């Protein structure tokens, strides 16, 4: 369960202030698949950052699985992310010095778990990259990199997955395959998935659509 209440984010630039997000409130039940959509500069990424605890709001609260993350310290939020949150980014954001397998292991290792390679190998196999574990990110195609990122995102069995334009850097067919994987994992694991996208085809795969314009929520409907 994710509850956002009156989320507002203002940026101060000299004497003038810019409102990136204005009084956004909604609640997302566990296991839902939600798309956040809107034109460039509408506040999509800002909202994602606040919901995932990567940033703090100027006003308002975010309660994730019963925890008010807006009241937590940065390290408290990091621990929460490590335990309950997964991420998929437009630019994949794999650690270049680590192999595919090692990238998937990182969230587990940060929690001090043992025998992480078995679980990481399982996850890689699930995204169809069982034999590419020893490759470095630079040796993988964009689609493969994003699949590694998805395997990594699911490594800690997150309660919620945030995806920022997950198909933005991929061609149409590869993008479709990635979305298939995400939807499948959502269905199988019961993980809440929140996708930020400006692509209609991606948004159409969600069960609920939240649309933003100029920092305000202008639409919230079930698809």
Contacts with other proteins by CB under 8 A lie at 45, 48-49, 52, 54-55, 74-75, 78-83, 85, 87, 89, 93-98, 102, 106-107, 109-114, 116, 152, 156, 164
Identify which of residues 106 and 210 has a Cβ nearer to other proteins in the complex. 106
Q: Smallest distance, Å, CB 118 to other proteins? A: 15
Identify which of residues 79 and 187 has a Cβ nearer to other proteins in the complex. 79
Q: Smallest distance, Å, CB 22 to other proteins? A: 19
Q: Smallest distance, Å, CB 81 to other proteins? A: 5
Q: List the one residue out of 202, 198, 100 whose CA is nearest residue 147.
A: 100
Which residues does residue 220 pair with via DSSP β-bridges, in sequence order? 210
Q: Smallest distance, Å, CB 92 to other proteins? A: 10
Beta 59-64 vs 2-13: how paired, if at all? antiparallel
The CA distances from residue 155 to 15, 105, 117, 177, 213, in Å, are: 44, 7, 11, 20, 34
For residue 99 the two structure tokens come to: 């192999």
Identify which of residues 26 and 136 has a Cβ nearer to other proteins in the complex. 136
162 alpha carbon, distance to own chain's centre: 2
Q: Smallest distance, Å, CB 164 to other proteins? A: 6
Beta 160-164 vs 16-28: how paired, if at all? unpaired
Identify which of residues 168 and 176 has a Cβ nearer to other proteins in the complex. 168
For residue 152 the two structure tokens come to: 């990594």
Q: List the one residue out of 150, 218, 221, 165 whose CA is nearest residue 196.
A: 165
- Find tokens 């009241």 and name the residue: 71
Q: Smallest distance, Å, CB 160 to other proteins? A: 13
**Sequential DSSP letters for 101-128:** HHHHHHHHHHTT-SSHHHHHHHHHHHTT
Identify which of residues 111 and 187 has a Cβ nearer to other proteins in the complex. 111
Identify which of residues 93 and 189 has a Cβ nearer to other proteins in the complex. 93
């Amino acid at each position: 369960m994710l509850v956002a209440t009156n989320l507002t984010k203002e940026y101060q630039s000299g004497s003038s202030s810019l409102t990136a997000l204005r009084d956004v409130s909604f609640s997302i039940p566990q296991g839902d698949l939600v798309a956040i959509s809107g034109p460039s500069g509408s506040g999509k990424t800002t909202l994602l950052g606040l919901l995932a605890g990567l940033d703090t709001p100027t006003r308002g609260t975010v309660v994730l699985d019963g925890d008010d993350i807006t009241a937590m310290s940065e390290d408290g939020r990091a621990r929460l992310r490590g335990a309950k949150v997964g991420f998929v980014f437009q630019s994949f954001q794999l650690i270049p010095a680590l192999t595919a397998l090692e990238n998937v292991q990182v969230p587990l290792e940060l929690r001090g778990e043992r025998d992480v390679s078995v679980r990481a190998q399982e996850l890689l196999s699930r995204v169809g990259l069982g034999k590419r574990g020893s490759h470095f990110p630079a040796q993988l195609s964009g689609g493969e990199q994003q699949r590694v990122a998805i395997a990594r995102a699911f490594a800690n069995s997150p309660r919620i997955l945030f995806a920022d334009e997950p198909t933005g850097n991929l061609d149409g067919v590869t993008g479709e395959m990635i979305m298939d994987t995400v939807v499948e994992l959502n269905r199988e694991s019961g993980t809440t998935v929140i996708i930020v996208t400006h692509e209609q085809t991606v948004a159409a795969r969600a069960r609920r659509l939240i649309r933003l314009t100029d920092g305000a929520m202008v639409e919230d409907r079930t698809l």
